[in-house]
Copies of this chain bind each other. A is one copy, B any other.
Amino acid sequence: MITLTEENYIKAIYHLGKYGVNNVSTNAIAKEMETKASSVTDMVKKLSEKSYVDYKKYQGVTLTGKGKEVAVNIVRKHRLWEVFLVEKLNFSWDEVHEVAEQLEHIKSKKLISQLDAFLEFPTHDPHGDPIPDKTGKIKKIDKILLSEAKIGDDCICVGVQDSSSDFLKYLDKNNIALGTELKVCHREPFDNSVTIRIKTKELIISNMIANNLFVKVS
């Protein structure tokens, strides 16, 4: 039996370890979970007991196979629910995360497999993130940050790095959605702001924006 709190720790460790970081530090987890390092130490011992993580004192943690399975399953549930909320219940993409944080902990294999079918087996969530299949397989698409695209590139928006409400609303306001086509026109050397063209309209976006928008060069 796994508690909701344990699930959240495992998810945090998964996300922190995603980009090649093998040993996730106590402090990093504490920051992600908005809790104190001492609480993390306690929980990490417990997760280690239950063999969800490998842990050696002062060395940080890594998810075990078992831990990874749990993590991927939660991510799968989170993203399927996000699709449901947007596709079926008319939520906008900046409103889904908090509710999905709750829904991802509902325990029922049938619920998720039926939901998956009902949504017609979506491959990506509303933010462009891939949805692991029932076996935990994640197919990644080759996306780059808009800040890394070359001048003259024709791109299509495929995801967001940050999915805060503020960022997503900015994109809405400027008619940038997943699937939007854009051309990279100019990069200003001084501040790395980027001029892009969507259809016929030009728009200047800051480096910070460009750093949080994933595109595929077409």
Contact = CB atoms under 8 A, between A and B. Distances in A.
A105 to B, nearest CB: 8
A115 B102 contact: no
Interface string A73-96: 000000000000100111100010
Contacts of A111: 85, 89, 99
Nearest to A4: B4
A108 interface: yes
Contact of A102 (B85, B88, B108): B108
A171 B42 CA distance: 51
Contacts of A115: 89
Contact of A98 (B91, B98, B108): B108
Which bracket fits the contact residues of A?
A: 10 to 19
A18 interface: no
The count of identical subunits is 2
A205 interface: no
Interface string A96-113: 001100110011101100
A102 B107 contact: yes
Interface in A112-157: 114-115, 118
Specify which of A95, A102, A108, A111 lies most central, judged by the most chain B CB atoms within 10 Å of its CB: A111
Nearest to A107: B102
A118 B84 CA distance: 11
Contact of A99 (B85, B99, B106): B106
A114 B89 contact: yes
Contacts of A89: 111, 114-115, 118
A103 B102 CA distance: 9
Nearest to A103: B106
A89 B95 CA distance: 23
A165 to B, nearest CB: 14
A99 B108 contact: yes
Q: Which 5 pairs from chain A and chain B are nearest by CB?
A: A89-B114, A99-B108, A102-B106, A99-B111, A89-B118
Interface of A: 85, 88-91, 95, 98-99, 102-103, 106-108, 110-111, 114-115, 118
